[in-house]
């Protein structure tokens, strides 16, 4: 159920990183539905283009696709210059991320960097590029970063993601204080399981092929105190609330939306300790297949 009035974001302009797919697309769609102009970015040009076209048509608003790799500071600067040349945006959603499950002992430095360069470094580059422009323009603005509940209880088998997201949790709290005087708020959302193709191919590859790998299978729902995964509209509503005028005193907070899962101890992959070498090799191959298909669609 939508909780907000139809024109809540009329006249507002937002950037959602990774807005071509999954949760980013959902939030971009909600903002557009509520009247905002939206920018979405991602590495796969055709994916963001297609989504922008669909969201613009469905919501009768302007949605602009930008091919950008947030790991590359110059690319982020170029994107932000292009956006701000059309006028300062009112808000940024740091949603783009990379992740896969792996035993930490099997990670190479490249494997660690593949995640940390997107999540930890890339998110900072985007936040900095927007923040310094807002400060210069004396523009009141908002940042929402999409984290995970692992920032509180750790992320076995997803250590590069958990470390990077934990860093962004502290970025949120630090900049909430440093940039409060400039009218910039920073908050974060820590979703529990909201099934998306991107996440499930890399975090639950057994389940996506009928549970044959015996990894998470349906445990994201059955281990949840509410017995279910999240519904996209629930996330859309929280992302709207945090972005809206009217909660101007709320900053520096990370809000879990997970049905109570992490409080119940089910918010991470600790159950994967049972798996052996061959199962991990199978998982790696399935994730590799998904990555190769996605990489074929991008130029960077």
Residues that bind ligand HXC (CB under 6 A): 97-100, 102, 106-108, 110-111, 114-115, 148, 161, 193, 198-199, 202-203, 284, 287, 291, 294-295
Binds 44, which of ligand HXC, ligand NAP, none (CB < 5 to 8 A, cut-off by type)?
A: ligand NAP
CB of 238 to ligand HXC, least distance (A): 16
Which is nearer to ligand HXC, 56 or 279 (by Cβ)? 279
Binds 102, which of ligand HXC, ligand NAP, none (CB < 5 to 8 A, cut-off by type)?
A: ligand HXC
Q: In Å, how far from its chain's centre is CA 218? A: 22
Which is nearer to ligand NAP, 107 or 135 (by Cβ)? 107
Binds 108, which of ligand HXC, ligand NAP, none (CB < 5 to 8 A, cut-off by type)?
A: ligand HXC
Binds 115, which of ligand NAP, ligand HXC, none (CB < 5 to 8 A, cut-off by type)?
A: ligand HXC
User: What is the C-alpha separation between 46 and 190, in angstroms, rounded?
Assistant: 28
CB of 276 to ligand NAP, least distance (A): 26
Please name which of 88, 123, 67 lies closest in space to residue 14, comparing C-alpha atoms. 88
Strand-pair category, 254-257 with 184-191: parallel
CB of 90 to ligand HXC, least distance (A): 26
> Which chain residues interact with ligand NAP by CB under 6 A?
17-18, 20-24, 41-44, 47, 68-71, 95-99, 118, 122, 146, 148, 191, 193-194, 196, 198-199, 294, 298
Is residue 281 classed exposed, middle or buried when 0-12, 13-18 and 19+ CB atoms within 10 A define those classes? exposed
């Amino acid at each position: 159920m939508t909780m907000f009035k139809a024109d809540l974001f009329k006249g507002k302009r937002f950037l959602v990183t990774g807005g071509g797919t999954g949760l980013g697309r959902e939030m971009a769609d909600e903002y557009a539905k509520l009247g905002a102009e939206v920018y979405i970015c991602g590495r796969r040009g055709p994916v963001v283009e297609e989504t922008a076209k669909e969201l613009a048509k469905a919501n009768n608003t302007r949605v602009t696709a930008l091919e950008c790799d947030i790991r590359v500071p110059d690319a982020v600067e170029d994107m932000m210059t292009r956006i701000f040349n059309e006028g300062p945006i009112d808000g940024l959603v740091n949603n783009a991320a990379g992740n896969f499950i792996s035993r930490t002992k099997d990670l190479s430095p490249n494997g660690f960097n593949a995640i940390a360069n997107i999540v930890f470094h890339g998110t900072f580059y985007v936040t900095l590029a927007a923040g310094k422009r807002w400060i210069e323009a004396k523009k009141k603005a908002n940042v929402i970063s999409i984290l995970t509940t692992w920032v509180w209880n750790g992320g076995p088998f997803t250590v590069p993601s958990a470390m990077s997201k934990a860093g962004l949790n502290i970025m949120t709290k630090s900049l909430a204080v440093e940039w409060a005087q400039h009218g910039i708020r920073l908050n974060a959302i820590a979703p529990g399981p909201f099934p998306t193709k991107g996440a499930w191919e890399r975090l639950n590859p057994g389940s996506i092929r009928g549970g044959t790998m015996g990894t998470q299978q349906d445990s994201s729902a059955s281990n949840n105190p509410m017995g279910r995964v999240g519904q996209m509209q629930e996330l859309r509503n929280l992302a709207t609330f945090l972005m809206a005028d009217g909660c101007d005193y709320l900053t520096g907070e990370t809000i879990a939306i997970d049905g109570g899962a992490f409080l119940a101890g089910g918010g991470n992959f600790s159950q994967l300790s049972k798996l052996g070498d061959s199962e991990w090799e199978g998982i790696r191959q399935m994730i590799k297949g998904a990555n190769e298909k996605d990489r074929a669609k991008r130029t960077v």
